[in-house]
Structure 1
Amino acid sequence: MPRGTPGPGPAPTYRGTPSIVVAGGGSAGHIEPALAVADAIRRLAPGATVTALGTEKGLDTQLIPARGYPLELIPPVPLPRKPTADLLKLPGNVRGAVKRVREVLMSVNADVVVGFGGFVSLPAYLGARGRTPIVVHEANARAGLANKVGARFAKAVAVAVPGTGLAHEQVVGMPLRRSITGLDRAALRGQARQHFGLPPGGPVLLVFGGSQGARTLNQAVAAALPGLVDAGVAVLHAHGRTGEPAPPMPGYRPLPYIERMDLAYAAADVVLGRCGMTTVAELTAVGLPAVYVPLPHGNGEQALNARPIVDNGGGVLVPDEELTGDRALSELMPLLTDPGRALKMGRRARAAGHGDADERMARIVLDVIG
């Protein structure tokens, strides 16, 4: 299959009732793209049935049934990153999970298995190998172990950003739910600001660093807040369930967690945040300029996630160890005080994104079946 981005085309139509199994359990970063693709498949092939694989651990039992998809549980197969006692248990755990996957594939008469990485995908790929076609989606700039295995015998390999190292990759972007890709920020701006108790006028900075927050971001916001408030900037700050908010100030709205991210995006003019792939994809889909601060841990994939957006002029990248209150002000104030500049950067961010990744991915899946 040629490398590159599949172009738009007419939606495939199917007279039958294809059966698709998606494997994206564990974290929201795996579940959300899987469900976004499942939604797109239902739109393009109304007769299709979609079954999700997951485990009792993680968010599977909370998120998947709530979206209306049947969930089939398999034994969890944690993938040790270092040599530990768990590594010795891996072969037995994999065998049990693979057996259960094959039972599910037979019971739903699966036509294809679509994996999104993580510990649910590995047994899904092994259970489907040689029996059911496989499609792989890799969300990060550097592929994980499960997708490295699955890509070896997959019919199609789709990626969010180029250069993952997987053979025959097709760049489709990160599949997102339609409440984000179809968001009309301008139309919702007043409602969104009222929802969060923000001023109806003036610039708004949105700060978030994941469900647990980010200490570096929280400390930088606390240090920069007086300067932001003095300049008439309101701040919507998701400090995390375990993080500390800044001291109270006028125009500062701290929250442990933001449930309505669509409204948060509609209320905001500029973002300060991490650069996990879902965050980067959502910000480009809604056209928000951002100062990205990648996690200092791991293999550096967060910086790689944001690099195409930054190179296109849609954002700024600041290393975690360099983010102070003064640095935050120096990067943010030119955007927050110049609406034209922020709008231009937001347009460049949108141009670098893939707002139709869910349907691109769905078409690949349906084409494999067809």
Structure 2
Amino acid sequence: MVTGSDSTLSVVVAGGGTAGHVEPALAVADAVSELAPGTRVTVLGTERGLETTLVPERGYPLELIPPVPLPRKPSADLARLPGRLRQSVRRARAILDACQADVVVGFGGYVALPAYLAARPGLVGGRTRTPVIVHEANASAGLANKVGARGADRVLAAVPGSGLPRAEVVGIPLRRAITDLDRSALRAQARASFGLDPDAPTVLVFGGSQGAHSLNTAVTEAARDLSAAGIGVLHAHGPKNSVSVDRAEGGPDYVAVPYITRMDLAYAAADAVICRAGAMTVAEVSAVGLPALYVPLPHGNGEQELNALPVVEAGGGMLLRDAELSAQAVLDRLVPLLRDDSRLAAMSAAAGDAGHRDSAGRIARIVVDTARGGAGTDPHAARDGEDSVRGQGR
């Protein structure tokens, strides 16, 4: 268990489970450490999440709490929920006390909810309130952040319209490898590293482990025509998938790989992207200024389409519904774009302007100010309304 002293700021970050929760949390942790050296940053997580690998790799202490997934249907698990939640909140409160936490920063999910509740006095024996900052990455807020936003000191959101009261639009915090990326300077090295044609217009294709199938089918069926049009392809098809590619003779390379570990190099190698529209994907692609053909996953409540809309409406991307996805649809949208340098440049600029490269730094300043007991601890410091900082993209 971590212990601390009164002279050092102590920040507890609750962002476990998926990469969409862990990566923004770590980006903020890095930015806080850079802004206020010596700050003690502790990450809350569970033994089931990606944080068990990602957090130690970044050098931060990880404190584990019991996971409390929320059942969506009546079941025995639902009946056991109150007891499990109480246990997790009690453990989170013990960590906050041991760390002498000055602020809790939550990024949603089943790790954040116990942290939000633990920060409130009286629920599990805590005598003092710990300030809370909530960040919502998705276009539609989840239950944990809806609970956390009630009485939070600051409420932050990636895009307008999240459904959280008093939300300030700040984008999604991203790691330095993305925010500092100079695509032009790295292009030759990036293309060489993947074995791509150094001069051909190149499209990057990736769909994530769960959403790659229809993208894989459409793009591989378009491979011969893309190659004949002089367009190279870097295609991450997913580790559980395989693809067969028919390329035009003499055309640029079509490079298919199961997974890309250096997304910064992949972005640098590309002139455009075809991808899903998860919150982190949209944030990274727009931050590096890449025009994109977004194909939202057709599942859920339409959240992915909402994630992409601000960039599309700004002119930095195109939207294609999964039901309309086909080889011909890919060709109709990408070939004209990649053959038009002026349009490509305009879309790239629009994507970059819609992105939030400075999100992690902005959030870090709010975190440090709140931890120090500054104006950031006033829950009404921002103007009422979600769009109080809309338009301050980069």
**Correspondence for 1:9:** none
In the alignment, residue 351 of structure 1 is paired with which amino acid? D
**Correspondence for 1:297:** 299
Q: Deviations over 1:191-241 (max 9, x none)?
A: 100111111111111000113451110110111111100011111001111
Matched, 1:344 2:346: yes
Residue 308 of structure 1: how far off its partner (Å): 0.6
In the alignment, residue 69 of structure 1 is paired with which amino acid? Y
**Correspondence for 1:75:** 66
**Correspondence for 2:188:** 190
Of residues 217, 225, 228, the one that matches 2:226 is 228
* Percent identical: 63
Matched, 1:126 2:117: yes
Residue 248 of structure 1: how far off its partner (Å): 5.3
Residue 43 of structure 1: how far off its partner (Å): 1.0
Task: Provide the rounded CA distance (Å) in 1 between the counterparts of 2:73 and 2:275.
Answer: 29
Task: Provide the rounded CA distance (Å) in 2 between the counterparts of 1:326 and 1:118.
Answer: 38
In the alignment, residue 117 of structure 1 is paired with which amino acid? G
Matched, 1:206 2:204: yes
**Correspondence for 2:266:** 264
**Correspondence for 1:99:** 90
**Correspondence for 1:171:** 169
Task: Provide the rounded CA distance (Å) in 2 between the counterparts of 1:105 and 1:308.
Answer: 37
Structure 1 stretches of 5 or more lacking a match? 1-14
Q: Is the 8 A contact 1:213 1:239 kept in 2?
A: no
Q: Is the 8 A contact 2:10 2:371 kept in 1?
A: no
Q: Deviations over 1:68-127 (max 9, x none)?
A: 100001111111223232211211110111111011111111000000000000111111
Task: Provide the rounded CA distance (Å) in 2 between the counterparts of 1:216 and 1:149.
Answer: 36
Of residues 293, 307, 310, the one that matches 2:309 is 307
Task: Provide the rounded CA distance (Å) in 2 between the counterparts of 1:81 and 1:187.
Answer: 48
**Correspondence for 1:242:** 240
Report the number of matched residues.
Answer: 356
In the alignment, residue 39 of structure 1 is paired with which amino acid? D
Structure 2 stretches of 5 or more lacking a match? 1-5, 122-128, 373-394
Task: Provide the rounded CA distance (Å) in 1 between the counterparts of 2:75 and 2:297.
Answer: 25
Q: Is the 8 A contact 2:14 2:43 kept in 1?
A: yes
**Correspondence for 2:105:** 114
What stretches of structure 1 move > 6 A for 4+ residues in a row? Answer: none
Of residues 35, 39, 47, the one that matches 1:48 is 39
TM-score using structure 2 length: 0.89
Residue 242 of structure 1: how far off its partner (Å): 1.7
Out of 144-153 and 237-246, give the one that drifted further: 237-246
In the alignment, residue 319 of structure 2 is paired with which amino acid? L
TM-score using structure 1 length: 0.94
Residue 174 of structure 1: how far off its partner (Å): 0.5
**Correspondence for 1:356:** 358
Backbone CA RMSD of aligned residues = 1.2
Task: Provide the rounded CA distance (Å) in 2 between the counterparts of 1:38 and 1:260.
Answer: 21
In the alignment, residue 64 of structure 2 is paired with which amino acid? L
Task: Provide the rounded CA distance (Å) in 2 between the counterparts of 1:171 and 1:247.
Answer: 42
Q: Is the 8 A contact 2:159 2:169 kept in 1?
A: yes
Aligned residue for 1:244, secondary structure, equals coil
In the alignment, residue 177 of structure 1 is paired with which amino acid? R
Residue 246 of structure 1: how far off its partner (Å): 3.1
**Correspondence for 2:148:** 150
In the alignment, residue 336 of structure 1 is paired with which amino acid? L
Q: Deviations over 1:138-188 (max 9, x none)?
A: 000100000000000210000000111111101110000011010010111
Task: Provide the rounded CA distance (Å) in 2 between the counterparts of 1:352 and 1:83.
Answer: 41
In the alignment, residue 195 of structure 1 is paired with which amino acid? S
Q: Is the 8 A contact 2:223 2:246 kept in 1?
A: no
